[in-house]
Amino acid sequence: MTKPITLGAVLYDPKVSVIWEIICDFFDQNGVPVDPVFFTNYERQVDTLIAGSIDVAWNSPLAWLDTQRRSSNEFRAVAMRDTDRDRTSCFVVRKGSGIERLADLRGKTVAMGAADSPQATLIPIEVLRRAGLAAGSDYQVQRFDVLVGKHGDHIGGERDAFQALAGGKAEASTMLDLNWQTWTADGTINADEFTVVASTGTFDHCVFALRRDFPQDVVERWTAALLSMSYDNPKHREMMDMEGLKAWVPGRTSGFELLTSAVEHQRFFGRTS
Amino acid sequence: MGIGSVDETRWTVRVTAVPQGGVRAHVRKFSFEAGAPLSFDVEHPAVTALEYLLGALGVDIASGIRHLARKRRVEVDDVEVVVHGRLGDPLRFLRAVGAEGDPALEWIEAKVYISSLEDERIVSSLWDEVLAVAPVVNTLRKATRLDLVYQQVL
């Protein structure tokens, strides 16, 4: 029997395990057995990946940078979701607030997500820095640390941040573009009352991280199986809808410039807490 | 001479798990299918052990009320029990690395709706008497936080 590939994934909710069980069943059926290994946080997952105790990890963008930083670039990004590419984050304000550009946030309070959320905290702070605004002195950050360690995978932080804006406790909030789209569509956000005053540049999100010296033939079989998953196949579609993608695509590392700059300027990996 | 013995107060259920993944519990002349210990998948194909446990609590209460009402000649129409349960740390069950909490049910709540035109005091007395001797209720009370509330509906 072929030795199963061990795949690490962080669970921001127990229900996420169902998605990974379906993915692993899919690999089993395609002759590339995969055993999932679940983690409560990305730090433990990256530790385990670098130690070689798992073969591949579904990494958040921050976990990807951490993996490369701690391993001297020993890993490669082999695949990602189509929806992981070219994301943006939105600065949301109340219409009629007088805030029309990022510079207008000077002296204001901006509600953000968890401390380790790339899309709701780290990248927005970086974009404001580039606009000449320093957190803490030029504007105040009101953080919503929901499930720190899971890198903002849980939408709770962004939702709470928006609630702070809606409740008048902040003048702006940050969120991933996909969440803005979803929440204005489902009524969580009233688009007649709130608007996006600015968006960040594009960035990429999650990737499968795999050690460079992993056997190439296994990588090719595994990647070929993953990329063969089709949204037109009803059996695949259920999982793809749950995971929020229409297609798996080859991994790339060109979309992490904003986050790389953010963690450097915010000395994120040098923090003690 | 009594009609019972020590052995007669012990109940036995036999459970078999077959290689194909099916689990079946056998009790007296009945049997029932079961699934995983618990599942986070709403499409899981069988009732889980956790759901049977919560169901047993609901049956204990609903059936207990029905049985005692008949015995006390209290008119009760429908009884409905809605049971919720929450695990201490569901990620422990999933063996997630870093999960160190309690995999047990940390809280169970049963909301009971008793449809009856009887006086409130009579229904309240019935409720208290049922809970005092309900075997599943009193077992779970020793094991976890158990919140039981009832509402009389007309």
For A43-90, write each residue's pLDDT tens digit: 999 999 999 999 999 999 999 999 999 999 999 999 999 999 999 999
Contact B96 A21 (CB under 8 A): no
Q: At what angle do helices A16-29 and A216-227 cross, to 10 degrees?
A: 110
Local structure of A39: helix, strand or coil: strand
Is the reported ipTM for this assembly greater than 0.85?
A: no
Q: Which residues of A touch B91 (CB under 8 A)?
A: 11, 14, 38, 40
Q: Does B99 touch chain A (CB under 8 A)?
A: yes
Q: What local confidence, expressed as pLDDT, does residue B6 receive?
A: 55
Contact B96 A45 (CB under 8 A): no
Helix ranges restricted to H, A131-249: 156-166, 177-186, 216-227, 234-243
The CA-based angle A159-A200-A194, given to 5 degrees, is 45
Q: Which residues of chain A have pLDDT under 50?
A: 272-273
Q: Which residues of A touch B41 (CB under 8 A)?
A: 15, 18, 21
Contact A40 B90 (CB under 8 A): no
Residue A271 Cα, gap to closest chain B Cα (Å)? 21
Q: What local confidence, expressed as pLDDT, does residue A273 receive?
A: 42
Q: What local confidence, expressed as pLDDT, does residue A272 receive?
A: 45
pTM: 0.89
Q: What local confidence, expressed as pLDDT, does residue B9 receive?
A: 85
- Which of B38, B39, B40 should one mutate to test binding to chain A, selecting the residue with the greatest count of A CBs within 10 A? B40
Q: What local confidence, expressed as pLDDT, does residue B5 receive?
A: 54
Local structure of A236: helix, strand or coil: helix
Tell me how far apart the alpha carbons of residues A222 and A217 are, in angstroms, rounded to a whole number.
9
Of the partner residues A14, A45, A48, the one whose CB lies closest to the CB of residue B94 = A14
Give A135-151 pLDDT, tens digit per residue: 999 999 999 998 899 99
Tell me how far apart the alpha carbons of residues A36 and A57 are, in angstroms, rounded to a whole number.
10
Q: Which residues of chain B have pLDDT under 70?
A: 1-7
